[in-house]
Chain A
Amino acid sequence: MLIINCPLCGPRDHAEFTYVGDATKNRPENSDNSNDNAWYDFVYLRDNPKGLHQELWQHSFGCRCFVKVLRNTLTHEIIATGMPKDNLILKEKGLELSV
């Protein structure tokens, strides 16, 4: 069981959460054709790192907030959690974004 420390509710089982996915993708500004590559990147392309991954989980059976989680995809270790706007990598200084 992963224990996710929800910033609002405290540590909870991951079974209370719904996985949303990669938290580093930003929705492009415009939806006209000039931005096709940005949309392709946003909708489909993923870094899919082996190691540290910033991801969003929704606390569906709790406060229903979106929680940002910094987790190691190789060990499932959760390094930090925060609100979606938080930059967890910067927060946890000294951590490299690789295995």
Chain B
Amino acid sequence: MAKYSIFNIIKNAFNEDKNWARAWRDPEPKKSYDVIIIGAGGHGLASAFYLAKNHGIRNIAVLEKGYLGGGNTGRNTTIVRSNYMLDENAHFYEKSLQLWEQLSSELNYNVMFSQRGVLNLAHTDSQIDAITRRGNTMRLNGIDAELLDEKQIRKLMPYLDFSNDVRFPIKGGLLQRRGGTARHDAVAWGLARAADSLGVDIIQNCEVIGFEETGNKITIVKTSRGNFNCGKVGFAVAGNTGHLASLINLKLPIESHVLQAFVSEPLKPMIDHVVTFGAGHFYISQSDKGGLVFGGDIDMYNSYAQKGNLPLIEEVVTAGLAMIPSLSRLRITRHWGGVMDMSMDGSPIIGKSPIDNLYLNCGWCYGGFKATPGSGWVFAHTIANDEPHSLNKGLNLERFKKGRMVDERGAGPFPNRH
């Protein structure tokens, strides 16, 4: 693999950029792999990359039913943050954020990670109390957090509605300066290129259609491109986890729901940060192309369709207008839906499964994108050592049986409320 560098850019410019090698191979699948990761999105590719890099396992296949990065990796709102409160989440997401900070240089691929800051607005005294508590907890955990008052926010984000007669006046906000956004496709491409250069086979258009088990082990993964013998199997298929698990009669504490996201027509630079509304569910940032990227709640009913419904669009836009009235005449140019693996406590499940050589990486709810490198890091550790890393120990499947929920919102076992 040719290293990307300024010298290479100059050198190739002389040949009108005709001589760049392809970024990753399109290999013919082998008969047998030590580890098969199902799902070539960010999480699957990151898992394969860290398995190869940190654990020296090279005989790996990443199977993808469509094209790589074509699922939720290409469908999110690209937000990266680690402003969590509970220990199980906080340290894991902070590790992930630290990996983001070096990801571009680690992959030799610009993932355009931009630490522009993530601000959560608070509109009532009780919300101020809540974000103060959250901020203090984060700081005690060694994660950066800053409490801003209305004046400070006004200076940073003059476009927010600060008028006195609004239903949800802005009282303050919690800012994580190290949070921000990354270019989602570049994350998939960079990880694919780096994993491929370490010998990982990325096999696209290869849908898993079944498994063969011997004892309590998966021995063969059946796909649309033939059957593969496998040593270990990892699921990293986000919203399709329920479907894949049903192929081996595994029931999980997960429901699939559809989440919509939106991009507006491009504007000159207006929103310099990621901002979230505190009185409704709404988050917004501006892409480098100028489009405002925003989203809100899931559609609330079980769905495997990568499309949503109109009432939710109205709700999202209403929340957006309450926060930034100047959006009112903006046109939405694109909108889409992605299938979320909503877990019963709102936190991910990443670890071992009831089947000996099957490992689960699922239940990411809305929050999978920011977890990409961290998820790969701990999932690779879990697969290689057959036991969880200290960072994902608490995010196991057994916690539901034992009643040790990691419920950040305290919403209870209702997947659509997390």
Binding site for B on A (CB under 8 A): 1-2, 13-15, 19, 21-22, 36, 40-41, 43-50, 53, 55, 57, 71, 73-76
Contact B400 A48 (CB under 8 A): no
Given A2-B309, A48-B242, A73-B256: A19 and B304 interface contact (C-beta under 8 Å): no
B256 to chain A, nearest CB (A): 6
Residues of chain A contacted by B303 (CB below 8 angstroms): 73, 76
Contact B305 A75 (CB under 8 A): yes
A35 to chain B, nearest CB (A): 13
B30 to chain A, nearest CB (A): 29
Given A1-B310, A73-B305, A76-B305: A45 and B253 interface contact (C-beta under 8 Å): yes
Contact B253 A73 (CB under 8 A): no
Roughly how many angstroms separate A36 CA and B402 CA in the complex, as a whole number? 10
Chain A, Cβ-Cβ closest to B300: A19
Interface majority SS (helix, strand, loop, mixed), chain B: mixed
The yes or no answer to B413 lying at the interface (CB within 8 A) is: yes
A6 to chain B, nearest CB (A): 16
Contact B302 A73 (CB under 8 A): yes
Contact A49 B246 (CB under 8 A): yes
Please, could you name 13 A-B residue pairs with CB atoms under 8 Å apart, sorted by A?
A14-B309, A15-B311, A21-B302, A43-B413, A46-B255, A47-B242, A47-B251, A48-B252, A48-B255, A50-B242, A73-B303, A74-B304, A76-B307
Contact B413 A44 (CB under 8 A): yes
A29 to chain B, nearest CB (A): 19
Residues of chain B contacted by A41 (CB below 8 angstroms): 251
Roughly how many angstroms separate A45 CA and B415 CA in the complex, as a whole number? 11
The yes or no answer to B40 lying at the interface (CB within 8 A) is: no
B314 to chain A, nearest CB (A): 9
B339 to chain A, nearest CB (A): 9
Residues of chain A contacted by B310 (CB below 8 angstroms): 1
Contact B311 A14 (CB under 8 A): yes
Q: A14-B301, A40-B400, A48-B255 are in contact. List 19 more A-B contacts (CB 8 A).
A: A1-B309, A1-B311, A14-B309, A15-B311, A19-B301, A21-B416, A43-B413, A44-B344, A45-B251, A46-B252, A46-B254, A47-B246, A48-B242, A48-B243, A49-B243, A49-B246, A50-B240, A55-B301, A73-B304
Contact B309 A19 (CB under 8 A): no
The yes or no answer to B401 lying at the interface (CB within 8 A) is: yes
B302 to chain A, nearest CB (A): 5
Residues of chain B contacted by A76 (CB below 8 angstroms): 303, 305, 307, 309
Residues of chain B contacted by A55 (CB below 8 angstroms): 301-302
Chain B interface size, under 10 / 10 to 19 / 20 to 34 / 35 or more: 20 to 34
Roughly how many angstroms separate A21 CA and B413 CA in the complex, as a whole number? 11
The yes or no answer to B414 lying at the interface (CB within 8 A) is: yes
B251 to chain A, nearest CB (A): 4
Question: Would you list which residues of chain B between 330 and 360 have a CB under 8 Å from chain A?
Answer: 344
Chain A, Cβ-Cβ closest to B244: A50
Contact B414 A21 (CB under 8 A): yes
B402 to chain A, nearest CB (A): 9
Residues of chain B contacted by A47 (CB below 8 angstroms): 242, 246, 251
Contact B305 A74 (CB under 8 A): yes
Contact A44 B400 (CB under 8 A): yes
Question: Would you list which residues of chain B between 383 and 418 have a CB under 8 Å from chain A?
Answer: 400-401, 413-416
Contact B255 A21 (CB under 8 A): yes
B81 to chain A, nearest CB (A): 27
Residues of chain A contacted by B307 (CB below 8 angstroms): 76
Roughly how many angstroms separate A57 CA and B302 CA in the complex, as a whole number? 12
Contact A49 B251 (CB under 8 A): no
Roughly how many angstroms separate A90 CA and B72 CA in the complex, as a whole number? 35
Residues of chain B contacted by A14 (CB below 8 angstroms): 301, 309, 311
Residues of chain A contacted by B304 (CB below 8 angstroms): 50, 73-74
B111 to chain A, nearest CB (A): 31
Roughly how many angstroms separate A57 CA and B415 CA in the complex, as a whole number? 15
Roughly how many angstroms separate A66 CA and B344 CA in the complex, as a whole number? 22
Q: Chain B, 228-248, contact with A by CB distance < 8 Å: what is the 0/1 string?
A: 000000000000101101100
Interface centre among B251, B301, B310, B416 (most CB of A within 10 A): B301
Roughly how many angstroms separate A48 CA and B310 CA in the complex, as a whole number? 23
B157 to chain A, nearest CB (A): 32
Residues of chain A contacted by B251 (CB below 8 angstroms): 41, 45-47
Given A19-B416, A55-B301: A46 and B309 interface contact (C-beta under 8 Å): no
Question: Would you list which residues of chain B between 291 and 328 have a CB under 8 Å from chain A?
Answer: 300-305, 307, 309-311
Roughly how many angstroms separate A36 CA and B251 CA in the complex, as a whole number? 16
Q: Chain B, 73-109, contact with A by CB distance < 8 Å: what is the 0/1 string?
A: 0000000000000000000000000000000000000
